[in-house]
Structure formats: C-alpha cells, structure tokens
Amino acid sequence: MYNKGTIIPGLIIFVLFVTFPIWFNGLTTAGDLPKPELPPGGEKQCVNTAEYMRANHMQLLNEWRDNVLRDGNREILEIDGKKYPKGLQTACMSCHSQKEKFCDSCHTYAAVEPYCWDCHLTPKETASKEAIH
C-alpha cells in the first residue's frame, strides 16, 4: 500500500463519519424512550384511535387549522356523543392539558419543532397570563 500517510487517516475519517451515530450515542446507551403522560383527567376517548393519532395528529391539526382559519368552517365534531370544537386548545388540550408532559416528550425525542406554539398558548401559559391581568 502506498501513500499510507494520507490514505489511512482519510479512511479513518470516513469510518468515523459513517459510524457517527454509533459513537455519538455513547456506544450502548439508547437513551430514554418518551413517556407521554395521559390526560390528568383520566379521559380515555379521543377523536380517533391512539395509533391513528400517533401517526397522523399533525395532519389532522393542520386540516383543522385550514378549516377554521382559512375556510371559516367552525363545524363542531361530534364523536361518540362527545363534542370537539376544532382547535388545539379547545379540543386537544382540554384533555391533554400539559404540553410539557405530553406533546413535548415525543417532539423532543424526535427533534420535531411544530410551530403550533407560535400562536397557541398552553393552558399553563393561559393561566399565568390571566393571573397577570
């Protein structure tokens, strides 16, 4: 083998790049899985199944946002006798009231930063704002 002085370091750098996630994670620690906290009120029912919501909630919320804000369609959903006004705060967070313990747990894990909170307030924030006024 010729030019070992440059080729071997080059290959080492290459291997380090490719195996980056292995050594960056500290070799064996997988880290904690997110444990989203279920609604403190103990509700069991939602607008759709848990599997569906886990995979599709962002698209559902996006659709609601478009319905309500862009099309003015504020039709209230009724599922199994329960009424859900389309909205993050009005529907979802009325049960899942703790953003930090519910939404954020998975979002942080998957490095997702939804822009919901650019406009919306969490129940906690609402409470603290009300207190100030």
- DSSP helix/strand/coil, 32: coil
Nearer to another protein, 15 or 127 (CB): 15
Write out the two tokens for 75: 């039709």
- DSSP helix/strand/coil, 76: strand
Nearest distance from residue 45's CB to another protein, in Å?
20
Give the C-alpha separation, 69 to 110, whole Å: 28
Residue type (1 letter), 18: V
Nearer to another protein, 8 or 127 (CB): 8
Nearer to another protein, 21 or 81 (CB): 21
* Residues within the interface to another protein (CB under 8 A): 1-4, 7, 10-11, 14-15, 18-22, 24-25, 27-34, 51, 54-56, 58-59, 61-62, 106, 108-115
